[in-house]
A and B are shown apart, each in its own frame.
Chain A
Amino acid sequence: MSIADAFFMASFTVPEIIHVDPKSTLWLLPLVASISIVYKTTKIPNIKALSFLKEVVILFGSIVVFMAVSAIALCVLAWLITE
């Protein structure tokens, strides 16, 4: 096994350092992207690059916007309860 291979394998045996801060919520984005891609793949019988990309981007945007709105609503609710 070469040094590069060993380094690559080792990166899967030690967890990354991720702090509990607002920045860590950005890890949501790749997951939403993969959910959008796979979901649209199962929905479209004949995939054409442009229309597929458009559908994926629309779904991705919808999920992100909905989650952002939900987060804001929950923050406002928490603020109203605690103030």
Chain B
Amino acid sequence: MIKAENVSRWFGNIVAVSDISFSVGAVITELQGPNGAGKTTILQMAAGFLQPSNGSVRVRGQSPWRNSMLYRYTGLVPEREAIYPFLTGYEFVLLNARLHKLPDPREATNRAIRMVELEDAQHRATGGYSKGMKQRAKLAAALVHDPLLLLLDEPFNGVDPAQRLHMMGVLRDLAAAGRTIVFSSHILEDVERLADNVLVIVSGRLAASGDFHRIRRLMTDRPHTFVLRSSDNRRLAAALVETQSVKGVELIDGGLSVRASDFGAFTLAVSAIARESGVTLFEFVPADQSLESVFSYLVKR
């Protein structure tokens, strides 16, 4: 459905996307990466709202740039929250149906509103909608012409957990019906829950790609750093060095810095090791759980 070949896009001196190639078919694909990584730029190129500086992006074998007829097959859910505040949810979806020149815009509108479960609020002005309701109205507008390809930019941002689960269900149903879905997210947990296929984008480059099991393993198998404080740091260090999952121990100011390869096994083992060596553990903190450290690890690989 989407095929990108050596695509780059720069804005003046800033490189937003650098030499990325991938192809996406009829499954759920996630563009995962920190803010500013270039996920939106990739989506915009697929949506025909940015021209690649180099390389090519094709949707159904065609370039989306200056090709508005391709919007028959593409639905877009932008990250920007704004929709026409004076329109009701129903009117907003109907507007999209009419702009698509659908044969029966009202029927299509009702169908799309049912899909996102916005029936109760459909006759209220969208200006008074919550963030999650706006997100559903935007999704309904993107689905009104039953597109083959759905592009969503940070669709779960600011959406409460119940609505999030519901939206994930809608996307799964669409994928099961053979639609291609591409969404971006900077939230790591989304990887596990929804996507069949993950493209990790960091600093405009494709850092990793594959099914979510592979990405998940890459992320959990990396060395983790922990900071420990105990009643006897040297004794604990000696005991830790003998442990299989420990890759390195360093005495730091008032404590220990430990690198371990297996997050789960090490966290389970550490209290037993301390007890056996007769050391009281005061503090045990994972030092690098930030998203950036995960991504920077993936990039270095």
A binds B: no
Binding site for A on B (CB under 8 A): none
